[in-house]
Structure 1
Amino acid sequence: MENRGNKASFWAAAISLAATFVASATPIPLYGTYQRVDGISYLGLSLSSVVYFVGAVTALLVFGRLSNHLGRRPVSIAAVILAAMASISFLQLHDATPLLVGRFLQGLACGLASTALAAWIVDCAHSVPQWLAPAVISCGPMTGLTIGGIVSGVLVEYGPIPRQLPFYLVLVLLLICVVLIMRSNETMPSAPGAIGSLKPRMGLPANAKKFFPVAAVTFISTWALGGFFQAFGPAMAHEQLHTSNAIAAALVFASIMAPSTIGASIAGKMKATNAQFYGMLSFAVFVGGLLLALQLGTLVLFLITSVLAGIAQGMVLTGSIQTMVANLQPKERANVLSVIYVTSYTGAAIPTLIAGQMSENHSLLQVACGYGVLALFGAITVIFSRKYQQREFQQCGLQG
């Protein structure tokens, strides 16, 4: 009976994690509207992504261990409520201020979800197949971003009140998540030290620390490209691929996010270090294909190479996360996940900020080439560190 309850809790946490990211992707297909109708510049759009990442990193650094003391349930509910507050801020958006406020709140929500809900998922991982928890943690956000982007794009293009309806639906989804969370088993009883836990700490246990440098390079290389797609997906669709359709813009954004789940399932059947290695090499190759498609202005080629890059991204993220979270103690999980996501969000925020500045004087293709360099650096890193990674993983008593 307890295992059945933990399995239900696993799926409640997984759905809520994805839903938080569904909410964060919902405004992205409207970026073209915000630009054309409300006059928000490319710099403003890129700043909206930067404040999103800043919110996420703030939540991870300050509140990342709070669920170890207050429990998984209340912190998870707080994450969902923040996502709802952000959605409300988008309902009457006509200039950059509510966009920036809403995106910051979404960042806070996703940062909290990335620790409390992700740690809850790991807590209940014994009730599901071994590969599933790392796959959900690595690709649940990507899946949520995909669903949110595509559904919002369809509603923006064909639905009534396109600037409000997507957010009304998100609010209903988040309410359902609150109900699911309330009915789930608490896996981390309350404990003293909540105030002390707010002091930012970035320490890692010894096993996770061994694998962090290489994992960090892969997190940054892959998440940076996701940040570019968030900020400039609609612009790429319009300027480089010659379409202003909101669904096409959503597909451009989703094409890099959705396939990561496929990559995660592939990685689940591989050794973690092999998934990291082959995933990163493949990612670098397919990012090169993306740049070629942008140069040619071919939407079909772009979507194909983007899907392949997304599959590779899922492989490398799942493999890298598995190297760091294997054999952790329950109290260590939230902190390690905080470090993983702080690294990932920071790795996305800084290139996005640079890209926003460069977009004032350079074409989007020129800006995108910088992300190709990052992917190449990631590939070179995993090539030169492969033997070390495999040896250390085996010495930890794991099948690496």
Structure 2
Amino acid sequence: MASTRLRIGYLALSISSVVYFIGAVTALLLFGRLTNYLGRKPVSLTALLLAALSVLFFLNLHDAFALIAGRLLQGLACGLATTALAAWLIDHAQAVPAWIPPAVISCGPMTGLTVGGVGAGCLIEYGPYLRQLAFVVALMLIVMAILMLIKSQETMPRQAGALRSLKPNFTLPARAKQAFPLAACTFVCTWALGGFFQAFGPAMTREQLHSHSAVAAALVFASIMAPSSIGASLAGRMTPSRAQFAGMLSFTLFVGGILFSLHLGLLSSFLVASILAGIAQGLVLTGSIGTLVGGLLPEERANVFSVIYATSYVGAAVPTLIAGHFSEQFSLLQVACGYGVLALGGALTLLTAKVRPSRRRIQAAERQE
């Protein structure tokens, strides 16, 4: 069950994912609004420096402590980057169609995870220095990003109040507050499954799908992440609420396909089901974010994104911690079934929310008659 080289078991792997989420949520809740006071650029640069430091831990990875410490720093970096870079993106996005910023915000991280996962798998399978080369490449990419950020244009001037902004703030503008409950439901359901793939993808490939290839493990992880950009583009042809509803229902259906493929132990059908679930995930996430960010003022964006990502990270962390606990007692297939139940609950919640307004409209029309 554990890696023979590093002796890191499933529980340690799940804890590493959980501390990543803890770091991200901490950064979001405590530092999410700093970008409004210190500016987008300084906060983004700090996030990249933390990311570089986390890679240095991974370069010297010999035990669970280095893995967990690196993942904590990585979480802090991602939490800082999500609000600063998301707000910065929207600041610069006036000249593009309205669906593009939510699509990039919702699917950009997944695209990066896909490129990194598949690239790392190929380097491990075919390249030299199988435990270091991927991290060296990642460090070089971070340095390139730092250089590009230094030359970029700031959109939020520095102002007083940075210390006051460290107080957690969960308030949302009225429009976002109304849309938040359903959006939060979709964030939890989709990010939870992503957390499962992140923590247990290689083990799932080896034990349930009977493949010991690093590339196959990378493809399993990428299959749920990469296709989200397709779903995001589909969301651009719908209203945000319609994309949210259609995406959540189809996501639940395809999660069922994933579980069925795991039961049969078929890698090819598993990849197909995961790709379709990834498309649906991009559709629902882009729709949900669109329901929250439409018409926001510049000073409102960072806080809304902090709430969005904090909800998403918590929604991924708690199921991952529970899965890590039960992975020592049950098979990964049995643990994965819990994620199917979670997705089904999310779909039923959205379906109920859609049916109730329809009933009210019918009852109002009957009263008028």
* TM-score calculated relative to the size of structure 2: 0.95
Q: State how far apart, in whole Å, the 1-side matches of 2:242 and 2:178 are.
A: 17
**Aligned partner of 1:94: which letter?**
H
Map of 1:120-135 to 2, 5 A cutoff?
120-135=88-103
Question: Is residue 351 of structure 1 aligned with residue 319 of structure 2?
Answer: yes
Map of 1:65-214 to 2, 5 A cutoff?
65-214=33-182
Partner of 1:319: 287
Deviation digits for residues 117-169 of structure 1, max 9, x if unmatched? 01101111103222111100000011011111000010011111011111111
Identity, % of aligned positions? 64
Shift in CA distance, 388/142, structure 1 to aligned 2, threshold 3 Å = farther
How far did 1:387 drift?
Answer: 6.0
Q: State how far apart, in whole Å, the 1-side matches of 2:354 and 2:159 are.
A: 40
Deviation digits for residues 142-198 of structure 1, max 9, x if unmatched? 101111100001001111101111111111111111111111111100010001111
Deviation digits for residues 253-295 of structure 1, max 9, x if unmatched? 1100000000000001111111000000000000000000000
Q: Secondary structure of the equivalent of 2:3? A: helix
**Aligned partner of 2:287: which letter?**
G
Q: Structure 1: give runs of 5+ residues left out of the alignment.
A: 1-31, 391-400
Q: Kindly indicate whether the alpha-carbon contact (under 8 Å) linking 1:273 and 1:389 is maintained by their aligned counterparts in 2.
A: no
Shift in CA distance, 389/104, structure 1 to aligned 2, threshold 3 Å = farther
Question: Is residue 384 of structure 1 aligned with residue 347 of structure 2?
Answer: no
Q: State how far apart, in whole Å, the 2-side matches of 1:182 and 1:387 are.
A: 50
Q: Kindly indicate whether the alpha-carbon contact (under 8 Å) linking 1:67 and 1:116 is maintained by their aligned counterparts in 2.
A: yes
Deviation digits for residues 23-76 of structure 1, max 9, x if unmatched? xxxxxxxxx9x8221111100011110000000000000110000000000000
**Aligned partner of 2:125: which letter?**
E
Which of 25, 40, 64 pairs up with 1:57?
25
Partner of 1:43: 11
Q: State how far apart, in whole Å, the 1-side matches of 2:261 and 2:242 are.
A: 28
Compare CA radii of gyration and give the structure with the larger one.
2
Q: State how far apart, in whole Å, the 2-side matches of 1:60 and 1:67 are.
A: 11
Q: Secondary structure of the equivalent of 1:51? A: helix
Partner of 1:302: 270
Partner of 1:339: 307
* TM-score calculated relative to the size of structure 1: 0.88
**Aligned partner of 1:156: which letter?**
I
**Aligned partner of 2:233: which letter?**
S
Q: State how far apart, in whole Å, the 2-side matches of 1:105 and 1:247 are.
A: 26
Shift in CA distance, 74/146, structure 1 to aligned 2, threshold 3 Å = same
Q: State how far apart, in whole Å, the 2-side matches of 1:310 and 1:160 are.
A: 31
Q: State how far apart, in whole Å, the 2-side matches of 1:329 and 1:302 are.
A: 42
**Aligned partner of 1:155: which letter?**
L
**Aligned partner of 1:341: which letter?**
Y
Q: Secondary structure of the equivalent of 1:90? A: helix
Partner of 1:255: 223
Q: Kindly indicate whether the alpha-carbon contact (under 8 Å) linking 1:218 and 1:280 is maintained by their aligned counterparts in 2.
A: yes
